[in-house]
Structure 1
Amino acid sequence: MEPRSSQPPPSADGGTCVFCALLEGRGTAAWIHHGDRASALLPLPDSSLAPGHCLVIPQAHVVGMQDAPADVLQAVTSCAQDLARGMQTALGAHGVNVLHASGAAAGQSVGHLHLHVVPRWEGDGLETWPEGRSAHVAPAEWLPALRAEVAR
């Protein structure tokens, strides 16, 4: 993990984002880790999917996967990996789910990039894999268009 500090790192959001406010020390959070580029905290108790469920948030205010620079994504995924390893050792987790939504249509509820790292145990009863399929019909030439966009 990144070096620990006793205080949350400062942010440049201007105070409108709940996660940025928490990073600035405004509000109460149960912090697991404070890093220079990414931090981890527990969700609100009524939002926790399992004991040890954590949120990983970048220091930088970015809304989602689409606008995050590669170094921000690297810091967030590295912190998530450290949490997953810690959950295995400290909680005896058999696995983890890493959940994420970018954009309101995907179910993103807070406009600040965050990953949910949820420890899992055999037979724990939690269902996290989506059921069903999207009813959206993609344009006819979506595959070559996507390949071209990714290759840019």
Structure 2
Amino acid sequence: MKHAPPGYECPFCGIAATLPASYSRSAIVFADANVFAVLPLHYYGGIKGNCLIVPRSHYENLLEVPDSLGNDFFAATRRLAQAMLSAFGCQGISTRQHNAPAGDQDVWHYHQHVFPRYSGDGLHAGHKGVYTAEERVALAARLRAELR
């Protein structure tokens, strides 16, 4: 079942179509042939450095993602988690993913959230903040530096 409204312009498809050759001044952390990682517009619970892993091809939700992308997502998640542990000194990593309106999905392109975690960090407290463009670029640069 599709949930995107008629005429929906997918923001992740827009990013995928315009991925720069160099990410040095962007919120893109890494990209390969099938997926990319990006700092989103929002952070939660005061935890900064969270990222999204997104397929380059459009799939509305988990039910549409082909099995063949499973290894790409797992490898990207592990790679990003290792970079977060090094870059931010976090104590753990959480992932989450939402499907359909009842599952709190609000962008109609599959994506997985990856969060650096700290004891008592308040991730689930409901606070949602907005990054500045400069914060996104700086945090992405810190993660990219750990991927080298």
In the superposition, the TM-score normalised over structure 2's length comes to 0.68
Partner of 2:130: none
Indicate the RMSD between aligned Cα atoms, in angstroms: 2.1
Q: Provide, for residues 103-140 of structure 1, a one-character-per-residue CA deviation record: whole Å limited to 9, x for no partner.
A: 12211111111001010012223227xxxxxxxxxxxx
Residue among 40, 58, 64 paired with 2:55: 58
User: Which residue of the partner structure matches residue 88 of structure 1?
Assistant: 85
| More contact order relative to length (CA 8 Å, sep ≥ 6) | 2
SS at match of 1:81: helix
Which letter does structure 1 place at the counterpart of 2:110? Answer: L
Q: Which has the higher strand share?
A: 2
Q: Does 1:73 align with 2:70?
A: yes
Name the residue aligned to 2:128: none
Q: What stretches of structure 1 of length at least 5 have no aligned partner?
A: 1-14, 129-152
Cα distance in 2, alignment partners of residues 80 and 90 from structure 1:
15
Alignment size in residue pairs: 111
Query: Radius of gyration: which is bigger?
Result: 1
CA distance in structure 2 between the aligned counterparts of 1:90 and 1:69, rounded to whole angstroms: 32
Structure 2 unaligned residues grouped into runs of 5+? 1-7, 20-24, 126-148
TM-score of the pair, normalised by structure 1:
0.67
1:86 partner amino acid: A
SS at 2:94's partner residue?
strand
Letter in 1 for 2:43: S
SS for the counterpart of 2:63 is helix
Higher helix residue share: 2
**2:103 pairs with 1:110:** no
